[in-house]
């Protein structure tokens, strides 16, 4: 069994084990098994980084075995510089989420933990699949655990949110399925992604494929104007669900652009780049305004996710190495920062059971340790230099200026909005005198909460201060991707 | 002429017939309320028949018997094997349900009629002649009418049986009328002869199409596709649940085989005509089946409408075989349909298995709200039901996804913009379908239970249901084998 297979199936095996364990009378054992499962799953992904060869753009750790002969579908796995970090990120966030749900979840603990473990296995599968159909199977399969996580452990309006999440994203993916089958037929019977990358296609076909992929990935990212499901879902999802959704699931869509849309339909990507840049800027600027007026903390962070993901898609579709690499860095940093933001809100929610900004005020007086963390994450969210949030945004802006000054200018304005909504929220929640009674009785974070927030803080600072390990890994692959996208595939 | 070779081709059928008669007599001596002895003998018979069919199928031989009236080929034998297994599973799930409702007190008709309906399916699948196929259809439906009316004191069942009988008789009339038109035009009842006569191109096209319309209408009735679907929801709901499964499971396999025999083996030269008709039926079934299912509160009725939409998918595979008069894609298209039917039957068995499990004496578990909080009462059965529903919705990694994939691939390989448009329509309809399947998942997982209490079931039911549920998932992870089996079976049928 290869490393990638281990990375995919270890968490799934632990998840199935937890489901088999059953009832709530063994809660403590269930939690420990879940934690062991998550940690083991993280450990098996580490060799992917340490043994990664940064000097080649070829796929590494490749596994290829026939899976469904009838349609020539292969169990084909492999990673390059673009995808390898996401596998580690997924396994890392999974550990954090298991710890974060430790005491918070009290009913059906085994199912909760199992859902997250299985979900992380599926998501690693998405990042490592090199077969179109294998990708699709993992991509869709993630919906099932997430649907249950939102619906079972979510907030008051969870059912609406769960359905909206499932049906909205399913609609996009079904159109992608049509595109995959079209490519299968057009390539003479192959689902192999690398074959598709070389397949010559006409302009119309490319455009149609591009939009079919766009339907799936834009909903997932989510891009403006199909982002409306995200705030609703984030608000209702349990803390862990929000963290995974923001940190990893949104990246599945952005990753899809790099693996499918751009290399398979390069001419269409260039043709419609203007549209994509427009939508990205709308996400950055318009959603930035929308974010400012939110009264609900989770909704605020959800909208700010849309804005940050706008940077990612903007970086991709300006087609230079700074932009694309910046977009990927932004994806990773947003993985850490958004998870941290949502977990921070979760810490407050567990104590007060309110997400309204107005229910708080002066939290720093009773929770100084927590406020220190919150400040760091808030700074990272608005892209302060020295934190993870800065690196990606700065690279994207730099790349955009190279292409067109005004695009760079517009994107840069987002830094101001980001600072405005994040700092304003921070001020209202944490600073000033204590305005609400229940804030007086808040207890500061315990050791468990300190531990996982500290892990995230280290990640955020490390990535901000020394991003080289991240960028080094992807440089060659990004260059290769851009070289490929620059060549026309019209025949 | 009845020679020894002819008999070999129909040994399983003969065995089934003899044993059905023997069991009918044997049952007279059984006194027990649950008819355990009859049940065991029936299961043993079915197991032997299934094994026999499987061995015939793996031998891969094609045999014609009784002057080309019946054919025994790999496709037919696999379908017969699966149908036998489906009937066995149905009886396992349904026996305690039937016993609780006094359906076994008067006698073991449930078993005998099931065996006869299975025999009807065998004849349908093997038929190579208009009249033999018609005979099989009648044997199956007549047994089914009686099965639906088995609970003779229940008004709903009787109403369903009456409706089923009247509409079914009408459909049989259509079928027979279409067959007689084609017989009149071609001068033969034998499918190969009909094929040759039409291929020769001497017969007036209009006459053939006229007969074809009636034939398709009759078949559409039996398969239950829009606009010939009226009986499906009423019969599914009205029949005792065990019988619903008997009607909604195995017979779909036989109906598929009849489509293949009549339309492909007999009337392939008319493919351009019947493909258009099937397209209309498929589009209407997908739309009406999925939209009407949303409004249902009764799970049997909901599954009935979902059946209609799934049969729409089966027809999509059937209409993708012949492109511009060339039949190269035929094997791919028809095997995708076969795979769809087989996986659909497997899923239906498990989902009705859970419905049956939740029904108790004097209490039917028919409303969707009866599933509330099933996850808290029994995570295991809720899990099986969830796997079924996700499979029906076509979400990977369940088997239902690969079925949809195969059919859509066949559809898109077969033509231009129209077929791609149809594929988009089909996936959008399955998006609507996902909504009502998800609603049941929601009720099971998100709502609190109204009824408490453990769910008890005999060991054999638990074992078979677990196996059934596991199979949906395992085949979802490794669907290659079953796909290849369907493909080989259909290729062999087309080659012969």
Asked whether the beta carbons of residue A22 and residue B379 sit closer than 8 angstroms, the reply is yes
The answer to whether position B340 is within a domain reads: yes
**Cα–Cα distance for residue pair A339/A333, rounded to 1 Å:** 10
DSSP string across B413-429: HT-SHHHHHHHHHHHHH
Q: Among B402, B434, B478, whose Cβ lies nearest the Cβ of A167?
A: B434
How much is the mean pLDDT over chain B?
A: 88
> By C-alpha distance, which of A159, A212, A103 is closest to A451?
A103
Q: Work out the minimum CA distance from A420 to partner chain B, whole angstroms.
A: 38
Nearest to A294, CA basis, from A428, A393, A168: A428
Q: Is residue B1 very low, low, confident or very high in pLDDT (cuts 50, 70, 90)? A: very low
Q: Write out the two tokens for B297.
A: 């509160």
A331-340, B105-114, B211-220, B356-365: range with lowest mean pLDDT = B356-365
The confidence score (pLDDT) of residue B453 equals 67
Is B168 part of any domain? no
Task: Give CA–CA dist A96/A453, Å, rounded.
Answer: 9
Q: Are the beta carbons of B93 and B461 closer than 8 angstroms?
A: yes
Pairwise CA distance, residues B103 & B477, whole Å: 39
What is the distance of C-alpha A106 from the center of its chain? 27
Q: Could you give the CA distance from residue A42 to residue A26 in angstroms, rounded to a whole number?
A: 24
Mean pLDDT of A441-452: 86
The long-range contacts involving B161-166, CB below 8 angstroms and separated by at least 24 positions, are B161/B238, B161/B239, B163/B231, B163/B234, B163/B235, B163/B238, B164/B231, B164/B234, B164/B235
Give whole-number Cα distances, B340 to A52, A297, B111, B333, B406, in Å.
43, 47, 28, 11, 8
CA distances from residue B10 to A64, B59, B122, B134 in whole angstroms, order as listed: 45, 15, 10, 18
Model pLDDT, residue B152 = 80
Residues B381 and B387: their CA atoms lie apart, in Å, by: 10
Which residue from A134, A182, A63 is spatially nearest to B397, judged by alpha carbons? A134
Cα distances (Å, whole numbers) of residue A37 to A91, A121, B437: 10, 11, 31
CA separation for the pair B162, B231 (Å, rounded): 10
Least confident of A268-272, B29-33, B264-268: B29-33
Which helix (H) or strand (E) element contains residue A45? helix A27-50
Domain-located, residue B393: yes
CB contact under 8 A, B446 and A159: yes
pLDDT in tens, B352-374: 999 888 887 667 778 888 888 88
Does residue A181 sit at the B interface (CB-CB below 8 Å)? Answer: yes
* Best A26, A74, A181 residue to mutate vs chain B (most B CBs within 10 Å): A181
B379 interaction partners in chain A (CB closer than 8 Å): 19, 22, 111
pLDDT band at A351 (very low <50, low <70, confident <90, very high): confident
Mean pLDDT of B201-230: 89
- A178 close contact with B: CB closer than 8 A: yes
The pLDDT of residue A126 is 93
- Cis before residue B137, ω within 30 degrees of 0? no
DSSP letter at B489 equals H
Interface of A with B in 100-139 (CB under 8 A): 108, 111, 133, 136-137
Beta bridge partners of A68: A73
Q: Determine, yes or no, domain membership for B18.
A: no
Per-residue CA distances from B461 to B92, B113, B360, B409, B455 (Å): 6, 21, 14, 36, 12
Count other Cβ atoms within 10 Å, centred on residue A58: 12
Tokens linked to A166: 């499932």
pLDDT above 70 covers what percent of chain B? 98
Q: Tens of pLDDT along A254-299?
A: 999 999 988 998 898 888 989 999 999 988 888 888 888 888 888 9
C-alpha B379/C-alpha B373 separation (Å) is: 9
Cis peptide before B33 (omega within 30 of 0): no
Q: Going by C-beta distance under 8 Å and a sequence separation of 6 or more, which residues neighbour residue B207?
A: B181, B184, B185
Task: Suggest the residue from B400, B409, B483 to mutate for an interface test with chain A (most A CBs closer than 10 A).
Answer: B409
Confidence (pLDDT) at B344 = 94
Max Cα separation, chain B?
70
For CA atoms B12, B15, B19, B20, the dihedral sign is: positive
Please say whether the beta carbons of A70 and A123 come within 8 A: no
Count Cα atoms within 13 angstroms, Cβ side, for A291.
32
- Beta strands A60-68 and B63-65: pairing type? unpaired
Report the gap between the CA of B475 and the closest CA in chain A (Å): 11
Q: What is the pTM of this model?
A: 0.92
Preceding peptide of B227 cis, ω within 30°: yes
Share of chain B above pLDDT 90, in %: 44
What is the rounded CA–CA span in Å between residue B445 and residue B424? Answer: 31
- Per-residue DSSP letter, A223: P
**pLDDT tens-place string over residues A157-179:** 888 888 988 998 998 899 999 99
3-state secondary structure of A34: helix
Pick the range with the lowest mean pLDDT from A279-288, A430-439, B34-43, B385-394.
A430-439
Partner residue facing A178 (CB), from B424, B445, B446:
B424
Instruction: Give the least confident one: A333-342, A350-359, B424-433, B472-481.
Output: A350-359
Dihedral through CA B280, CA B285, CA B286, CA B289, nearest 10?
A: 160
Of chain A, the percentage scoring pLDDT greater than 70 comes to 99
- For B347, other C-beta atoms within 10 Å of its C-beta total 27
Q: Is residue B107 part of a domain?
A: no
Question: Has residue B451 been placed in a domain?
Answer: yes
Is this prediction's ipTM beyond 0.85?
A: yes
How far apart CA B469 and CA B456 sit, in angstroms, is 17
> Quick one: which of A168, A157, A460, A414 has its CA closest to A305?
A414
User: Which A residues 4-63 touch B at CB under 8 Å?
Assistant: 19, 22
What is the DSSP annotation of B316-333?
HHHTTS-BTTB-TTHHHH
- In angstroms, the separation between the Cα of residue B393 and the nearest Cα of chain A is 11
- Closest partner residue to B446 (CB to CB) among A70, A152, A171 is A152
Average pLDDT over residues B132-137: 93
Q: Tell me the DSSP string of B241-276.
A: HHHHHHHHSHHHHHHHHHHIIIIIIITGGGHHHHHH
In whole angstroms, what is the distance from residue A245 CA to residue A235 CA?
Answer: 12
Nearest to A234 by CA among A144, A300, A291: A300
Give the mean model confidence (pLDDT) for residues B476-494. 87
Per the CB < 8 A criterion, the answer to whether B50 and B84 are in contact is yes
Q: Is B427 inside any structural domain?
A: yes
| For residue A370, pLDDT beyond 90 | no
Contacts of B444 in chain A (CB under 8 A): none
Of A135-149, A400-414, B117-131, the one with minimum mean pLDDT is A400-414
Q: State the pLDDT at residue A444.
A: 83
pLDDT at residue number B292: 92
Total domain count, chain B:
1
Q: Closest Cα to residue B294, out of B403, B160, B431? A: B431
Q: Which residue of A has its CA nearest to B373?
A: A152
- Residue B338: inside a domain: yes
Helical residues (DSSP H) of A51-200, grouped into ranges: 84-100, 109-128, 132-141, 143-153, 158-186, 193-198
The whole domain housing B486 covers 270-496
Between CA B114 and CA B95 the distance in angstroms is 12
pLDDT score for B4: 63
Let me know if A214 is exposed, middle or buried by CB neighbors in 10 A (0-12, 13-18, 19+).
buried
Tell me which chain B residues have a C-beta less than 8 angstroms from the C-beta of A147. 438, 441
pLDDT at A491: 66
Whether residue B49 is predicted with pLDDT greater than 90 in this model: the reply is yes
State chain A's mean pLDDT as an integer. 88
Residues of A in contact with B428 (CB under 8 A): 171, 174
Judged on CB neighbours under 10 Å (0-12, 13-18, 19+), B162 is middle
User: If you measure CA to CA, which chain B residue comes closest to A22?
Assistant: B379
What tokens does B416 get? 């231009």
Q: If interface means Cβ-Cβ distance under 8 Å, which residues of chain B face chain A?
A: 375-376, 379, 383, 390, 395-397, 401-402, 405-406, 408-409, 412-413, 420, 423-424, 427-428, 430-431, 434-435, 438, 441-442, 445-446, 478-480, 483-484, 487
Residues of chain A with Cβ-Cβ distance to B433 below 8 Å are none
Q: Does the pLDDT at position B61 exceed 90?
A: no
């Amino acid at each position: 069994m290869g490393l990638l297979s281990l990375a995919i199936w270890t968490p799934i095996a632990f998840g199935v084990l937890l489901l088999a364990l059953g009832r709530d009378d063994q809660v403590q054992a269930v939690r420990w098994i879940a934690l062991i499962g998550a940690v083991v799953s993280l450990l098996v992904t580490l060799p992917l980084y340490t043994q990664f060869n940064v000097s080649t753009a070829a796929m590494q750790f490749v596994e290829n075995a026939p899976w469904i002969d009838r349609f020539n579908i292969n169990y084909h796995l492999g990673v390059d510089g673009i995808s390898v970090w996401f596998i580690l990120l997924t396994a890392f966030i999974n550990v954090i989420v298991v710890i974060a749900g430790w005491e918070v979840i009290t009913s059906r603990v085994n199912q909760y933990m199992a859902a997250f473990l299985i979900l992380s296995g599926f998501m690693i599968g998405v990042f490592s699949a090199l077969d179109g159909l294998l990708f699709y199977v993992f991509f869709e399969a993630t919906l099932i655990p997430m649907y249950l996580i939102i619906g079972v452990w979510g907030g008051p309006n969870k059912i609406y949110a769960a359905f909206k999440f499932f049906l909205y994203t399913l609609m996009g993916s079904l159109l992608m399925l049509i595109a995959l089958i079209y490519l299968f037929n057009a390539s003479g019977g192959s689902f192999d992604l690398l074959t598709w990358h070389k397949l010559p296609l006409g302009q119309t076909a490319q455009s149609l494929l591009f939009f079919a992929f766009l339907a799936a990935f834009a909903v997932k990212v989510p891009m403006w104007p199909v982002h409306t499901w995200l705030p609703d879902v984030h608000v209702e999802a349990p803390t862990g669900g929000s963290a995974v959704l923001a940190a990893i699931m949104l990246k599945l869509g952005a990753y899809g652009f790099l693996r499918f849309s751009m290399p398979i339909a390069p001419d269409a990507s260039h043709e419609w780049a203007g549209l994509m840049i427009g939508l990205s800027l709308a996400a950055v600027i318009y959603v930035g305004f929308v974010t400012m007026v939110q009264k609900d903390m989770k909704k605020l962070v959800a909208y700010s996710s849309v804005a940050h993901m706008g940077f990612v898609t903007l970086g991709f579709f300006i087609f230079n190495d700074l932009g694309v690499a910046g977009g990927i860095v932004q994806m990773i940093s947003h993985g850490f920062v958004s998870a941290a933001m949502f977990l921070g809100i979760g810490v407050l929610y567990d104590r007060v059971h309110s997400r309204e900004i107005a229910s708080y005020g002066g939290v720093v007086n009773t929770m100084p340790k927590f406020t220190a963390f919150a400040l760091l994450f808030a700074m990272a969210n608005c892209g302060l230099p020295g934190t993870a949030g800065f690196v990606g945004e700065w690279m994207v802006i730099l790349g955009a200026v190279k292409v067109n000054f005004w695009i760079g200018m517009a994107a840069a304005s987002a830094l101001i909005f980001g600072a405005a909504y994040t700092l304003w929220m921070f001020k209202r929640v944490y600073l000033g005198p204590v305005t609400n009674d229940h804030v007086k009785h808040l207890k500061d974070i315990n050791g468990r909460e300190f531990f996982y927030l500290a892990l995230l803080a280290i990640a955020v600072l490390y990535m901000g201060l020394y991003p080289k390990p991240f960028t080094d890994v992807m440089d060659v692959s990004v260059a290769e991707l851009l070289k490929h996208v620059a060549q026309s595939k019209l025949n | 002429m009845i020679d020894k070779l002819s008999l070999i081709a129909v040994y399983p059928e003969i065995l089934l017939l003899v044993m059905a008669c023997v069991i009918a007599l044997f049952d007279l001596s059984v006194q027990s309320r649950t008819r355990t002895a009859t049940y065991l003998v029936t299961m043993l018979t079915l197991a032997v028949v299934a094994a026999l069919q499987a061995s015939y199928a793996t031998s891969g031989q094609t045999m014609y018997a009784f002057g080309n009236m019946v054919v025994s080929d790999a496709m037919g034998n696999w379908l017969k094997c699966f149908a036998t297994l489906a009937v066995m599973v149905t009886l396992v799930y349904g026996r305690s349900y039937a016993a609780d409702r006094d359906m076994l007190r008067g006698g073991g008709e449930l078993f005998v009629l099931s065996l006869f309906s299975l025999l009807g399916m065998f004849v349908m699948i093997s038929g190579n002649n208009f009249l033999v196929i018609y005979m099989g259809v009648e044997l199956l439906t007549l047994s089914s009418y009686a099965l639906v009316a088995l609970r003779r004191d229940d008004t709903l069942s009787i109403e369903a049986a009456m409706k089923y009988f009247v509409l079914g008789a009408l459909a049989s009339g259509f079928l027979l009328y279409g067959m007689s038109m084609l017989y009149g035009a071609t001068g033969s009842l034998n499918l190969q002869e009909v094929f040759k006569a039409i291929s020769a191109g001497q017969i007036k096209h209009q006459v053939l199409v006229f007969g074809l319309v009636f034939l398709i209408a009759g078949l559409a009735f039996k398969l239950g596709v829009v606009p010939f679907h009226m009986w499906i929801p009423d019969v599914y709901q009205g029949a005792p649940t065990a019988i619903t499964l008997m009607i909604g499971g195995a017979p779909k396999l036989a109906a598929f085989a009849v489509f293949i025999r009549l339309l492909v083996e007999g009337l392939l030269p008319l493919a351009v005509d019947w493909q258009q008709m099937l397209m209309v039926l498929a589009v209407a079934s997908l739309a009406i089946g999925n939209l009407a299912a949303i409004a249902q509160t009764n799970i049997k009725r909901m599954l009935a409408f979902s059946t209609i939409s799934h049969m729409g998918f089966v027809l999509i595979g059937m209409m993708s075989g012949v492109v511009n008069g060339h039949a190269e894609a035929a094997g791919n298209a028809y095997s995708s349909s076969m795979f769809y039917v087989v996986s659909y039957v497997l899923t239906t068995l498990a989902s009705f298995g859970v419905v049956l499990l939740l029904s108790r004496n004097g209490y039917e578990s028919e409303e969707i709200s009866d599933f509330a909080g099933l996850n808290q009462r029994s995570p295991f059965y809720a899990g099986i039901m969830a796997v079924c529903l996700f499979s029906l919705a076509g979400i990977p990694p369940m088997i239902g996804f690969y079925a949809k994939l195969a059919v859509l691939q066949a559809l898109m390989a077969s033509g231009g913009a129209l077929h791609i448009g149809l594929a988009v329509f089909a996936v959008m309809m399955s998006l609507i379908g996902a909504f009502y399947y998800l609603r049941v998942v929601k009720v099971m997982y998100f709502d609190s239970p109204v009824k408490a209490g453990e769910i008890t079931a005999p060991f054999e039911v638990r074992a078979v249901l677990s196996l059934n549920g596991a199979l949906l998932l395992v085949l979802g992870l490794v669907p290659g084998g079953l796909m290849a089996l369907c493909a080989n079976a259909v290729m062999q049928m087309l080659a012969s």
